Amino acid sequence: MSETPRKRGRPATIDTQSAMHAMIELFRDKGYAAVSLDDLSEATGLSRPSLYRSFGNKLSMYVGAMNAFGQDAAELALPKLEADGALEQALTNFFDAMLGIYYRDSDIAPGCLVFGTAPSHADEEEIKARLNFGIEQVDSRMRARMLQAFPDSEPARIETAAYMASNTLIAFSARAKSGATRSALSAMGAASARTIVMLLQAD
Amino acid sequence: MSETPRKRGRPATIDTQSAMHAMIELFRDKGYAAVSLDDLSEATGLSRPSLYRSFGNKLSMYVGAMNAFGQDAAELALPKLEADGALEQALTNFFDAMLGIYYRDSDIAPGCLVFGTAPSHADEEEIKARLNFGIEQVDSRMRARMLQAFPDSEPARIETAAYMASNTLIAFSARAKSGATRSALSAMGAASARTIVMLLQAD
DNA sequence: GCAATTTCGTACCGTTTCGTACATTTTTAG
DNA sequence: CTAAAAATGTACGAAACGGTACGAAATTGC
């Protein structure tokens, strides 16, 4: 409503977006507990009090990183899943897009912030809730995409197929962190996509 | 060779086995970094120096816990997988046995120490290596069991089926920690077992 | 200019961290 | 009974931790 309500005091010089991405990288490398506020301060270039002002305490920094990571992943990979065309190709492309996020270079694999590091800190209720949200999100998107491709399938079969696709994605994070190569997981994703479509086509 | 070489000094009074199991429970509740030596000391009833003497530093305590947990799981669940009879039933029983480990009571789910907490701390090379070992172990046992049930299947199909079964198990840990009920995951395991066998039977 | 307002980092606080030196206790060997 | 050996916990140290009070800096309104 108000035009340019021009803020009053000293203008902010902090780039919260790039700071958030630096925090994401740190958190998915080392998890929540192993990252100190000094680590975050050094990685973002912001002083510790600045971090508090911009993002709250350490827990809310981590939860904020989960949200930002989830949004980035959704914007980058979901269009591949929901693209028109054959389901098998869509699934394969979706897996590959997610692997593009899970791997930094060809070698180093920080994996998934949500599926990779959150389970380790799920005794914090806020983290557990956000982890659950991420899993439910993937499950429901998968279900919707499969129902779109096979509208006449039994609901139980759709659900199983969706769960198997989600489980593949969830396991990718652990496998990436354990040292699996990106190409190996890409092949695993393509084979899983093929199998899941075969299941849906079976009569 | 030597009969009873009777140790010299004060006899040890520490029950390292029960101490190790207390450490396992702590580590899979809170991960590696969030657990302090004081926490471990309180949970085991041992003083901090005693922990050092018996298990080395914190990192080797965690790796030791991974090994003990893996051995327990192997002894409890692998017989179900390798039992004679239908593959679908063996897979379902194996998943259920692992869920029996992942869940403490019906509600509280500490999940899997290896698949649940290790990915978050894989920047430690020792942890990463042990995580990789755990995944490879499950993969190879799955492959062997499926080859036994379907000796004439193409190797590529066996491999895909094995990966999908492993991925189901890996994802169970994240799902358990996120709040999924044990019965929900049990149903998911049975449905996945059915699907995987269907894949192997398809011509 | 001058006061009000907002941003920002230095410096500090109390607590917790991992790790160990060392004295004490309990056993065996002779 | 004495000396060597092994196990154990108290007590300590240096460093790192999360979090914040507070003063300096930068801007707007008047």
Taking the CA of residue B49 and the nearest CA in chain A, the distance in Å comes to 23
Angle at A169 between CA A165 and CA A173, to 5 degrees: 160
pLDDT band at B3 (very low <50, low <70, confident <90, very high): very low
Nearest to A171 among B132, B171, B180 (CB): B171
Condensed to tens digits (0 to 9), the pLDDT of residues B147-156 reads 999 999 999 9
Taking the CA of residue A45 and the nearest CA in chain B, the distance in Å comes to 23
Specify the residue for token string 């998107």.
A141
Distance separating alpha carbons of residues B194 and A102, to the nearest angstrom:
30
B77-84: long-range contacts, CB 8 A cutoff, minimum separation 24: B77/B101, B78/B141, B81/B141, B81/B142, B81/B145, B82/B141, B82/B145
The verdict on a CB contact (< 8 Å) between A192 and B132 is: no
Share of chain A above pLDDT 90, in %: 90
Amino acid at position A128, single letter: K
Q: What would you report as the CA-atom Rg of chain B, rounded to the nearest whole angstrom?
A: 20
Condensed to tens digits (0 to 9), the pLDDT of residues A154-173 reads 999 999 999 999 999 999 99
CB B189 within 8 Å of CB B172: yes
Specify the residue for token string 């199991």.
B21
Mean pLDDT of chain A, nearest integer = 94
Residue at shortest CA–C1' distance from C26: B10
How high is the pLDDT of residue B52? 93
Condensed to tens digits (0 to 9), the pLDDT of residues B162-183 reads 999 999 999 999 999 999 999 9
Distance separating alpha carbons of residues A188 and B164, to the nearest angstrom:
9
pTM here is 0.94
Number of cross-chain residue pairs from A and B with Cβ atoms under 8 Å apart: 152
In this complex, the nucleotide whose C1' atom is nearest to the CA atom of residue A8 is D28
Distance separating alpha carbons of residues A190 and A196, to the nearest angstrom:
10
Does the nearest atom of strand C lie within 7 Å of B6's Cβ? Answer: yes
The torsion angles phi and psi of A47, rounded to 5 degrees, stand at -70, 160
Does the nearest atom of strand D lie within 7 Å of A39's Cβ? Answer: yes
pLDDT band at A1 (very low <50, low <70, confident <90, very high): very low
Residue to mutate among A177, A186, A188, with most B CBs inside 10 A, is: A177
Beta-carbon contacts of B90 under 8 Å, excluding residues fewer than 6 positions away, are B80, B81, B82, B83, B145
Specify the residue for token string 């530093």.
B57
Which chain D nucleotides are covered by protein, judged by CB under 7 A?
Answer: 4-11, 16-22, 25-29
Please check the confidence at residue A4 and state whether its pLDDT lies above 90.
Answer: no
Distance separating alpha carbons of residues B40 and B25, to the nearest angstrom:
10
CB B62 within 8 Å of CB B113: no
Helix, strand and coil percent figures for chain B, each rounded to 5:
75, 0, 25
Q: Concatenated DSSP letters for A79-124?
A: HHHH-SS-HHHHHHHHHHHHHHHH-SSSS-----IIIIIGGGGTTS
Helix axes A125-149, A87-102, angle to 10 degrees: 150
Distance separating alpha carbons of residues B96 and B80, to the nearest angstrom:
9
Distance separating alpha carbons of residues A120 and B28, to the nearest angstrom:
7
pLDDT band at B116 (very low <50, low <70, confident <90, very high): very high
A99 vs B14, which has greater pLDDT?
A99
Condensed to tens digits (0 to 9), the pLDDT of residues B68-103 reads 999 999 999 999 999 999 999 999 999 999 999 999
Taking the CA of residue A136 and the nearest CA in chain B, the distance in Å comes to 10
The verdict on a CB contact (< 8 Å) between B177 and A131 is: yes
Condensed to tens digits (0 to 9), the pLDDT of residues B49-68 reads 999 999 999 999 999 999 99
Task: Quickly give A202 CA vs D4 C1' distance in Å.
Answer: 77
pLDDT band at A105 (very low <50, low <70, confident <90, very high): confident
Amino acid at position B2, single letter: S
How high is the pLDDT of residue B14? 86
The verdict on a CB contact (< 8 Å) between A170 and B175 is: yes
